[in-house]
Amino acid sequence: MELYKQEFGQNFNLGFDLSQYPWLIDKSWHNDVSPSFYFNVGQQYYVLWVDYVELSKRETSNERYLIQEATNEGDEANPEVYSSSGDIIFENELIVNLNQFLTNLSNSQGHIVS
């Protein structure tokens, strides 16, 4: 079972099929407000937060999909990726807009690393 389902329940709806994004690394933790996944483009790390579909279940007023710049406090072999002080570079409710943003990010900065 995927980590985000262990931490947020088997019925958590990401709005997309995680297997279509093999470069997203699940770093979800039940003490966070929602599931999170990290990835990197070149040397820059990012965290994608995926909140609940239902507004009433959200703990923040952020959009459903949010991407923050992040830092890897580990190394490439043993990453420890944190976004607590990273700038928010994307927020939206729609998966189609998330897909377009990720495509543009990859094209402008180098390929998303898996």
At 110 the pLDDT is: 67
Characterise 9 by phi-psi region: left (phi > 0), alpha (psi -120 to 50), beta (else): left
Profile the chain (114 residues) by mean pLDDT over runs of 10 residues. 96 93 94 95 93 95 96 92 92 96 79 63
Contact 92, 64 (CB under 8 A): yes
- What's the CA gap between 97 and 103, in Å, rounded? 10
What's the distance, CA 16 to chain centroid? Answer: 12
Beta bridge partners of 36: 49
Other CB atoms within 10 A of residue 77 CB: 5
- Say what the pLDDT of residue 112 is: 72
- The reported pLDDT for the residue numbered 105 is 82
pLDDT of 113 reads 63
What pLDDT, on a 0 to 100 scale, did the predictor assign at position 37? Answer: 97
Distance CA 89, CA 75 (A): 23
Question: CB–CB of 7/22 below 8 Å?
Answer: no
